[in-house]
Amino acid sequence: MLLQTTLQRVFILKEKEQEIILDDPAPKWSVQAVLNFYSNNYPVLTTAKISRPVIKDDTVQYRFETVIGTKG
């Protein structure tokens, strides 16, 4: 018999050279919905991109990568 397991999702935000681990607020939500949810607390996420998922330590890790550009 084959058992199907779902890996826990972990969301990582790097802000000011520090990684912040964000819990999964609702496993049924899309990754974009999670990004939108956390953008209320972390305004920098409004322009963030979502990295490809990486499986590490029995979790699926998504990175919210902020793009801070300079004008000129």
All domains of the chain in start order, with CATH: 8-65 (3.10.20)
Q: What is the DSSP letter of 25?
A: S
The pair phi, psi for residue 61, each rounded to 5°, is -105, 130
Q: How far apart are CA 36 and CA 39, in angstroms?
A: 5
pTM of the predicted model as reported, rounded to 2 decimal places: 0.82
Q: What is the mean pLDDT of residues 53-72?
A: 82
In three-state secondary structure terms, 12 is strand
Sign of CA dihedral 16, 42, 66, 25: positive
Question: Mind listing the pLDDT tens digit for each residue in 1-58?
Answer: 666 678 999 999 988 788 999 999 999 999 999 999 999 999 999 999 999 999 999 9
Q: Residue 35 CB: number of other CB atoms within 10 A?
A: 21
Predicted pLDDT at 53: 96
